[in-house]
Copies of this chain bind each other. A is one copy, B any other.
Amino acid sequence: MVVDTRADENIDRIFRALADSTRRDIVRRTLASTYSVSELAHEYDMSFAAVQKHVAVLEAADLVRKFPNGRERIVKGNPTTIRKAQELLAQFEHLWRDRIDRLDAFLAE
């Protein structure tokens, strides 16, 4: 069985992007407030280029978007993609509940 589709690759990117505490912190910050790339870079113990790469990973996953503002790029967190991931996990939980419901129905016989 082959499992991978284009849609799956997008999901891969989302979870992969979230699997790093620096990137999760960037998402939190840019959801709660406004940051340029260099403002973000000041927050972490790593090079500007490293932070830039993290932002690029998040952007590829559509977890943040960049908007030009003069020489700066304003990074904004994208709540829609967060919700998408959340809904996928909710489906997972649903599978479990359905199973329990089936079990309950069986035991009720």
Task: Report A's interface with B, CB cutoff 8 A.
Answer: 1-5, 8-9, 11-16, 18-22, 24-25, 27-28, 31-33, 43-45, 77, 79, 82-83, 85-86, 89-90, 92-93, 95-96, 98-99
How far is B13's CA from A98's CA once the two chains are assembled, in angstroms?
26
Does A99 contact B15, Cβ atoms closer than 8 Å? Answer: no
For the complex formed, measure the closest distance between the CB of A14 and the CB atoms of chain B, giving whole angstroms. Answer: 8
Q: Which residues of B are found within 8 Å of A3, using beta-carbon distances?
A: 21-22, 25, 44
Q: Which residue of B lies closest to A91 (CB)?
A: B28
How far is B83's CA from A20's CA once the two chains are assembled, in angstroms?
19
Does A1 contact B89, Cβ atoms closer than 8 Å? Answer: no
